[in-house]
Structure 1
């Protein structure tokens, strides 16, 4: 593990309103930036009291910070206009000076039944009830757009305003940001989707849960997923090294205040398996322990050791002070033992 950041689900409610959720996220990212923490990442959900439109938030954070990368985990491609997303992320890349880690996927189960149809998007295949084919088609269009493939033709000269292209000339979406595709991650919940991400030439963001049962633990399953991803990456012949991230829920206990907030050391529980989206998924356990025990547990987690980036899921509704303490505790007492490279050095 060389990098770590926080992953916020962006929850809000009547007691913790959306305005506070957003402003707290900006403030926490600013504090994390000063600590050298590498990333500020945010979940994206629609028709739910969570963050749904990440680009304004990421832009605000990028403008206020200098080192931390900003990203998502993940944008649900079923709800997106791929060309507009390409324009937004190119602009965000310039605001952030390239400090992006944008996770994209088909998306997780949502509260709304086929909610993407309310956004105006319909799967061509009537059997595509979960929108997987729709998301795949949009993702490929998006990748082509950010890689500079022309997406339209110039209009006749008398119809252009301003007149900047020769009539009929193929034109890409603008702006184009250098190496934007290298900041894109695919959120994979299966081995097959991880291998496809490698063939597509994007980074791997192993999901907070996985739908494979070929291992005794989440870490073992994700390690196999990562191994298969990297093997497929090598076969594809891409000319650069990809990045890989996993997420964990970790609460280092270094004071009585930590115990009062998160529980006694060793009280975090165990992994679980349950049905979600008509499939059995493996969910990771929460680590609540002393720093030495957390270091030991993470060193024994093959996925954490194989990935280059660890995302710590945080209880955003606990507020800035509590979450800043979680990050500071991890940065001070845990991360250095795992080979952490602070962003501000």
Structure 2
């Protein structure tokens, strides 16, 4: 494990309860700045629609990138059923320039949503009931745009203002940020989608739950997914080394206050549940224990040790101080024993260089 970060689901309260959406935005910004000071490598945020949860991530990621020095900003994940791929490509390139390459953006088809075919309310149509065809088409168009391919053609000179291009030549989107493909992750919940991500030439973000179930633990299922991804990557012949990230719920217990808040949260086994459309899926256990015990438990989790990056799912609604302490405890008492290198140069250890 070369790097670690945090993953916030961004839930907030409606009405007069706290924290509300404004509070949560401020918590995210302050927490990311604190994490940057600690040396945490990544600040990532879930994206969902039609629920009181984090959405429209680009303003927040831009604010964090502009007010930090080293931490990378990311998503886990942007639902491509809801996105205009060319506009998203412009946003990603702009964010990449603001952050000077400190981005790790996860995209995918997305999880089941509260809305019935909610992407249609955003103006997008699909044939598949779950929108998989729409997400795939949008993803491929996004990657073409990020790679600088022509996405439109120049108008006749008499219709151009200003006159910049020869009529009919292909026009890419602007701005263009070279190498940004190496900072895109695909959120995968199956072995097949992980292999597809390798063929597509993007990094892998293994989902918080995986719909490949068996008697194995989540870590054992994910390590098979990761190895299939890396084998497919090698077969595809890409010329750079990708990153793989996994996420876990982890609460280091360092003092009595930690024990009172999180001592009862730990679970000894993973869980199997049912997801709409996907069927049975395996969910990871929650790790909550003293640092020496956590170290041994995480070393025994094969996916954590196989991955390059670990994202800790945190209870952001508990506020800045509680979550800063979780990250500080992990950075001081657990992460070094797992191979973590603090982020002090603007990119996590192991990040590919353009």
Q: TM-score range by the shorter chain?
A: over 0.9
Equivalent residues in 2 for 1:86-165, closer than 5 Å: 86-123=89-126, 125=127, 128-165=128-165
Query: What are the ranges of 5 or more consecutive residues in structure 2 without an aligned counterpart?
Result: 346-354
Query: What are the ranges of 5 or more consecutive residues in structure 1 without an aligned counterpart?
Result: none
- The whole-number CA distance in structure 1 between the counterparts of 2:284 and 2:79 is 22
Equivalent residues in 2 for 1:317-332, closer than 5 Å: 317-332=317-332
- The whole-number CA distance in structure 2 between the counterparts of 1:50 and 1:117 is 20
Per the TM alignment, residue 178 of structure 1 is displaced from its structure 2 partner at its CA by 1.4
State the partner residue of 2:274: 275
Equivalent residues in 2 for 1:241-252, closer than 5 Å: 241-252=241-252
State the partner residue of 2:213: 213
State the partner residue of 1:25: 28
8 A contact 1:215–1:221 mirrored in 2: no
Per the TM alignment, residue 168 of structure 1 is displaced from its structure 2 partner at its CA by 1.1
- The whole-number CA distance in structure 1 between the counterparts of 2:311 and 2:266 is 21
Per the TM alignment, residue 117 of structure 1 is displaced from its structure 2 partner at its CA by 0.4
- The whole-number CA distance in structure 2 between the counterparts of 1:58 and 1:162 is 33
Query: TM (normalized to structure 2)?
Result: 0.95
State the partner residue of 1:53: 56
SS of residue paired to 1:41 = strand
SS of residue paired to 1:197 = helix
State the partner residue of 2:350: none
Query: TM (normalized to structure 1)?
Result: 0.97
State the partner residue of 2:19: 16
Tell me the number of residue pairs that the alignment of Structure 1 and Structure 2 aligns. Answer: 341
8 A contact 1:71–1:100 mirrored in 2: yes
Stretches of 4+ aligned residues off by more than 6 angstroms:
none
**Cα shift readout 1:168-215 (whole Å, capped 9, x = no counterpart):** 111101111010111000000000000000000000000000000145
State the partner residue of 1:74: 77
8 A contact 1:83–1:145 mirrored in 2: yes
8 A contact 1:105–1:135 mirrored in 2: yes
Q: CA RMSD in A?
A: 1.0
Per the TM alignment, residue 267 of structure 1 is displaced from its structure 2 partner at its CA by 3.7
- The whole-number CA distance in structure 2 between the counterparts of 1:69 and 1:172 is 26
SS of residue paired to 2:251 = strand
Per the TM alignment, residue 268 of structure 1 is displaced from its structure 2 partner at its CA by 3.4
